[in-house]
Amino acid sequence: MKIQTSVTSVASNLDDTKDKIAELNVDASKQMLDNVKREFGRQLILTLVVMVVVVLALASGAAWLFIPSKSEIAKRQDDYQYLEKAGVAHNIVKISGQDGHYARIDPKDCFEDEKSSFYSQSKLCKFK
């Protein structure tokens, strides 16, 4: 009888120990998951902030490269007006209601541009 009681108490103690170990594993897993979430959240936010800063820097750099300043626009306008007045390029005119300057050319003096592609079939034309 004493052996059966001790076997029962050992089995009971083993069940209790198993339950405690399972609880400790669950608690440790939750703690590790919380740590991973916290670290991942920080890294995700940091990565997104860096990406936004890089995109803004690239966009402003592209704008600086491709969008002419007001002084450049004024200089180009002066150059076109100079060509028009000087007669260096004949038949350059400014058409009312249209932006920019245009040149009257003879299409017989034009030939295919070797740098043109299927999508942009440009031509080179002699104008003076």
97, exposed or middle or buried, with CB in 10 Å at 0-12, 13-18, 19+?
Answer: exposed
Cα 9-15-20 angle, rounded to 5 deg:
125
**Residues 7, 1: Cα–Cα separation, whole Å:** 10
Cα 90 from chain centroid? Answer: 45
**Residues 103, 100: Cα–Cα separation, whole Å:** 10
**Residues 48, 63: Cα–Cα separation, whole Å:** 22
Please tell me the predicted confidence (pLDDT) of residue 13: 77
pTM here?
0.36
Please tell me the predicted confidence (pLDDT) of residue 83: 67
Which residues are paired to 124 by β-bridges?
111
Q: What 3-state DSSP class applies to 123?
A: strand
Question: Using one digit for the tens of pLDDT, what is the confidence trace for 81-110?
Answer: 776 666 656 667 777 777 777 777 777 777
**Residues 8, 11: Cα–Cα separation, whole Å:** 5
Q: Which tokens hold the place of 79?
A: 């150059």
**Residues 69, 63: Cα–Cα separation, whole Å:** 10
58: confidence class by pLDDT, cuts 50, 70, 90:
very high
For the chain, domain boundaries: 1-67, 70-125
Please tell me the predicted confidence (pLDDT) of residue 16: 81
